[in-house]
Amino acid sequence: MSAIKERRERERAQRHQLIITAARELAEAEGWEAVTTRRLAERVEYSQPVLYSHFSGKDAIVRAVSIDGFGELAAHLRRARLADPGPRRALHAVCRAYLEFATERPALYQAMFVMPTDVKFAHAETPPPLRACFDEFVSCFRPDNARRELFAEVIWSALHGIAVLSDSGRIPPDSQGERLDFLIARLADTPG
Amino acid sequence: MSAIKERRERERAQRHQLIITAARELAEAEGWEAVTTRRLAERVEYSQPVLYSHFSGKDAIVRAVSIDGFGELAAHLRRARLADPGPRRALHAVCRAYLEFATERPALYQAMFVMPTDVKFAHAETPPPLRACFDEFVSCFRPDNARRELFAEVIWSALHGIAVLSDSGRIPPDSQGERLDFLIARLADTPG
DNA sequence: GACGACATTCTAGCGACGCTAGACATCCTG
DNA sequence: CAGGATGTCTAGCGTCGCTAGAATGTCGTC
């Protein structure tokens, strides 16, 4: 009786995640404009209305994908930071990892940082993985740096600008390394 | 005979511009998602197919709006740069003017720098107004600075990141001034 | 095992989108 | 004034996100 319900709920949760990963794979393979509710439904082998029993609409699916992405990005940044100790080197590593993430998963990155969203950033209801991403940048600055949050915001913004302008072909994708080196050299908090 | 043709062409050019400004006004009033070919046609008081006799499609209309925008932005930046002489102050003024433009005309800014485009940036076929925008940043650095183009790219990217993240609510819109000050302090080429 | 009650899933369709074919009107030319 | 080019419009195609209501399947109770 209750075991059956449990199985049902388990299956439902699996299907929930299936939809999210299918959306993400489709987006990464053909871009978000190819992610239509029809194609997505076909891909998960259910009809369209099933999607709406899991998510309030297409936006909610994108949002779910993006939150998955925040978790992965946070882990990716953290790994980079811990692998390269020392404040200056850590910052460089984290920034490089960030751009790497953006260029290797452009569709996921778009869902997270470009597409319209109502996810709250820098707010009490901010999803923890998102906060964790930001904190990786903050942690690259000295704890006694009173403006490290501001520094992190600016660094993050600059990286985002670089990522998004090169992804849309507005700045040439080569010399990405040069741009990053210059940015770090100027923005790290350990002068010299 | 030819006078008639001239009048026709004149009227046609007027209507061409009318479409562009109508699209822009509609976008600035209600966002680009409200700019549909039907609403745009209604607004210019012609039927939909007329739009397609002027532009190859909706993308081309957005592109035309964005090119108008590049001209305005170039003039805006130039004015700021010339009003505030001295390399360091000029850079500050240009950057402030850039962010001002982005926040005051968010829809226009989106057409220029966010929406998918096939306008060539940093290329032989780059529209002159666009090149002029970029040159305003370059001109803020000393001519003997061999890497001033790189500097300009990075500064522009950083500003773009700030503009777009604050427009989409991903960083709080206040303390925009602080962020800018910090950025300039670190990225200007006259150290100290 | 048969049967209502309930939940789940699907078929079919709504209104709006970008875009276009073909009918219609209008104007210049001979 | 006729005929052809030019310009404009009506109507419609295929697709989109989304949903109402039918159909299907599953469950606890007799």
Identify whether residues B85 and B174 lie together within a single domain.
yes
Asked which of A55, A75, A94 is the last residue of a domain, the reply is A55
pLDDT confidence tier of residue B191, bands split at 50, 70 and 90: low
CA-to-CA dists, residue B67 to A125, B44, B61, B121, angstroms: 39, 20, 10, 12
Check pLDDT > 60 for residue B118. yes
Identify whether residues B177 and B84 lie together within a single domain.
yes
Identify whether residues B78 and B117 lie together within a single domain.
yes
Identify whether residues B65 and B128 lie together within a single domain.
yes
Contact list in A for residue B187 (CB cut-off 8 A) is 186-187
Identify whether residues A153 and A164 lie together within a single domain.
yes
- Identify nearest nucleotide to residue B47 by CA to C1′ distance: D9
Distance CA A109, CA A93 (A): 19
Q: Does the beta-carbon distance from A121 to B158 stay under 8 Å?
A: no
Note down the domain range covering A7.
1-55
Distance CA B23, CA B34 (A): 10
| Helix, strand or coil, per DSSP, at residue B95 | helix
Q: Is the dihedral of CA B78, B147, A103, A124 positive or negative?
A: negative
Q: How many residues does chain B have?
A: 192
Identify whether residues B31 and B85 lie together within a single domain.
no
- Identify nearest nucleotide to residue A12 by CA to C1′ distance: C8
- Residue-wise pLDDT tens for chain A (192 aa)? 456 666 777 889 999 999 999 999 999 999 999 999 999 999 999 999 999 999 999 999 999 999 999 999 999 999 999 998 877 899 999 999 999 999 999 999 999 999 999 898 988 999 999 999 999 999 999 999 999 999 999 999 999 999 999 999 999 999 999 999 999 999 886 553
Identify whether residues B63 and B51 lie together within a single domain.
no
- Looking up residue B69, the CATH number of its domain turns out to be 1.10.357.10
User: Residue A110: which of A28, A55, A45, A174 has the closest Cα?
Assistant: A28
Q: Does the beta-carbon distance from A154 to B182 stay under 8 Å?
A: yes
Identify whether residues A70 and A145 lie together within a single domain.
yes
Asked which of A55, A70, A95 is the last residue of a domain, the reply is A55
| Number of C-beta neighbours around residue A9 at 10 A | 10
- Looking up residue A10, the CATH number of its domain turns out to be 1.10.10
Identify whether residues B2 and B65 lie together within a single domain.
no
Within chain B, what is the greatest distance between any pair of CA atoms?
Answer: 68
Identify whether residues A68 and A109 lie together within a single domain.
yes
Distance of C1' in D12 from CA in B36, Å = 18
Distance of CA A50 to the CA centre of its chain: 26
Identify whether residues B162 and B192 lie together within a single domain.
yes
Instruction: Summarize pLDDT for A52-106 with one digit per residue, the tens.
Output: 999 999 999 999 999 999 999 999 999 999 998 877 899 999 999 999 999 999 9
DSSP string, chain A: -HHHHHHHHHHHHHHHHHHHHHHHHHHHHH-GGG--HHHHHHHHTS-HHHHHHHSSSHHHHHHHHHHHHHHHHHHHHHHHHHHS-SHHHHHHHHHHHHHHHHHHSHHHHHHHHTS---PPSSSTT--HHHHHHHHHHHTTS-TT-TTHHHHHHHHHHHHHHHHHHHHTTSS-STTHHHHHHHHHHHH-SS--
Indicate the DSSP class of residue B119. Answer: P
Tokens of A98: 């960030």
At CA B10, angle to CA B7 and CA B11, rounded to 5? 85
Distance CA A123, CA B186 (A): 28
Distance CA B91, CA B137 (A): 7
The arithmetic mean of pLDDT across residues B105-121, rounded, is: 95
Distance of C1' in C4 from CA in A67, Å = 44
Footprint of strand D on the protein (CB under 7 A): A 1, 4, 35-39, 48-49, 52, 57-59; B 8, 12, 46-50, 53
Distance of C1' in D18 from CA in B105, Å = 32
Nearest by CB to B154, from A117, A170, A183: name it. Answer: A183
Distance CA B6, CA A182 (A): 54
Asked which of B38, B55, B72 is the last residue of a domain, the reply is B55
Task: Give chain B's domain count.
Answer: 2
Identify whether residues A65 and A85 lie together within a single domain.
yes
